[in-house]
Amino acid sequence: MSDAKIRRPRAETPKGFRDYFGAEVTQRKAMLDKIAEVYHRYGFDPLETSAVETVESLGKFLPDVDRPNEGVFAWQEDEADWLALRYDLTAPLARVAAQYRNDLPSPYRRYAMGPVWRNEKPGPGRFRQFYQCDADTVGAPSVAADAEICAMLADALEAAGIERGDYVVKVNNRKVLNGVMEVAGLSGDDKEAERGIVLRAIDKIDRLGAEGVRALLGEGRKDDSGDFTKGAGLSDAQADVVMGFTTAKRETGADTVARLRDLVGASALGREGVDELEQIAALLAAQGYGPDRIVIDPGVVRGLGYYTGPVYEAELTFEILDEKGRKRQFGSVAGGGRYDDLVKRFTGQSVPATGVSIGVDRLLAALHAKGRISADTTGPVVVTVMDRDRMADYMAMVGELRAAGIRAETYLGNPKNFGNQLKYADKRNAPIAIIQGGNEADASTVILKDLILGAKIAQNATLEEWKDRPAQVEVPRSDLVAAVRRMLDQN
């Protein structure tokens, strides 16, 4: 068959997915390592679960979907169970907690980091595969566990490079909101649809504003594109109660809690939620976490349906420019809460649990925006090949450098064009190129070419500025490792 008739696959990434190259992977790992140090310091252990779970195990917890396998990548094997790629790291934890409940300590504290997959419509900055970084405590009914998660989240953000003052962890309680729903006449199974619309509406208050949320509580809202979103159909009196909840935040946590206590009225569930918020605030204050880091905020709702108590969200408060050049706040990078009923699906018994999930890609983007990516993306020292018959000599150099803990490689392409070897070293972001031709070999020397200094000189640096540092030096072959280390230290 001729080449013209061969159907070749297109070399393209599937829609909604992306590839991550060297610097991106290195930066992500460096950030996650810093977060893991915080989690470890708090006594949490790492856990890795399979990327694949049964659909039955994952359950029906993706937001705004009606079927268990909608929103996930699922398939059926030989008329047996349906399997799916995990859509978050919490559902697999619930399965682990149930499956190994007789072996794990209780409470069980774990953190997990890895990719998750969602079969949703992709868009700008919205991918079907993305990284999450979770920490959860399973088996602790006390809200002290929730307070600890909030404190740990604040510490993790600072460890990653988000300065104090550039973020705030907001805390609310779903019991308070459910109490407000009772007062508004929205309790009971027959009001589930309306409650769902109300929850989603409140969750959008930062984006839509009070007027937009009010419209969604009533008949509905038409957006700028003309699309109409059906509302919850609440009366004006019911909408007033809900809107009172969205504006309950006051200057101090104590004042906010007092206002929430008024709003929940006689609702026992609502009062329980307010009491829990008071406890969390007191526990955090005792550890020195004030309103400059963590605040009580009724605006936090969290979209997922499995939250049963405290909920929290980490919001970055600094401004960035959007794609149209307009200033806006960066927004949320993490969220979580208490989900006491998730493990119950497996065991039939309620198991208290609480946890948080950090959006890894969003936090990395925030660190880029603040200029706080500190991971070393320097490439390896490159040993060039002047004579292919002496490859063993070049490999020996690389071996010595690696044994000394220096990242290094031998050029393994076609050595015929030496200029291409230096271009390769530049593309690898190599700090140094090592050169040994026949003359240098006879003299038992090597040439070290300082590529970082060379790049600086090329950027119009004055000769005076760099006259004491030659961009290329010849050193004894026996001094190779020490000379490379000195040059690296200078850079």
Confidence of residue 67 (pLDDT cuts 50, 70, 90): very low
Cβ(248)–Cβ(257) below 8 Å? no
Q: How far apart are CA 335 and CA 297, in angstroms?
A: 13
Cβ(135)–Cβ(93) below 8 Å? no
Of 472, 435, 467, 437, residue with least CA distance to 452:
472
Confidence of residue 202 (pLDDT cuts 50, 70, 90): confident
Give 322-382 as a 3 state SS string. Answer: CCCCCEEEEEEEEEEEECCCCCHHHHCCCCCEEEEEEEHHHHHHHHHHCCCCCCCCCCCEE
Query: What's the pLDDT score for residue 467?
Result: 52
Tell me the pairing of strands 74-76 and 353-359. unpaired
Domains of the chain as residue ranges with CATH = 25-186+234-369 (3.30.930.10), 381-490 (3.40.50.800)
Helix-strand-coil percent breakdown of the chain, rounded to 5? Answer: 40, 20, 35
Q: What is the pLDDT of residues 81-134, one digit of tens each?
A: 788 999 999 999 999 999 999 999 999 999 999 999 998 888 777 789 999 999
CA–CA distances in Å: residue 453 to residues 77, 379, 432, 459: 58, 15, 9, 10
pTM given for the model:
0.82
| 402 phi, psi to nearest 5 deg | -65, -40
The residues with which 126 forms a beta bridge, in sequence order, are 123
Q: What is the pLDDT of residues 322-358, one digit of tens each?
A: 666 677 778 889 999 998 888 888 888 889 999 999 9
Query: What's the pLDDT score for residue 156?
Result: 97
Cβ(379)–Cβ(430) below 8 Å? yes
**Structure tokens that stand for 209 in this block:** 């504003």
Helix (H, G, I), strand (E, B) or coil at 66: coil
Cβ(302)–Cβ(145) below 8 Å? no
Give 278-318 as a 3 state SS string. Answer: HHHHHHHHHCCCCCCCEEECCCCCCCCCCCCCEEEEEEEEE
Q: What is the pLDDT of residues 123-181, one digit of tens each?
A: 777 789 999 999 999 999 999 999 999 999 999 999 999 999 999 999 999 898 888 88
- Which strand (E) or helix (H) includes residue 454? helix 451-458
Query: What's the pLDDT score for residue 265?
Result: 83
Tell me the pairing of strands 294-296 and 228-230. unpaired
**Structure tokens that stand for 344 in this block:** 């119950």
Please tell me the number of Cα atoms within 13 Å of 441 on its side-chain side: 13
Mean pLDDT along residues 362-387: 86
Q: Which sign, positive or negative, has the C-alpha torsion 7, 11, 12, 14?
A: positive
Least confident stretch, 217-231, 279-293, 427-441: 217-231
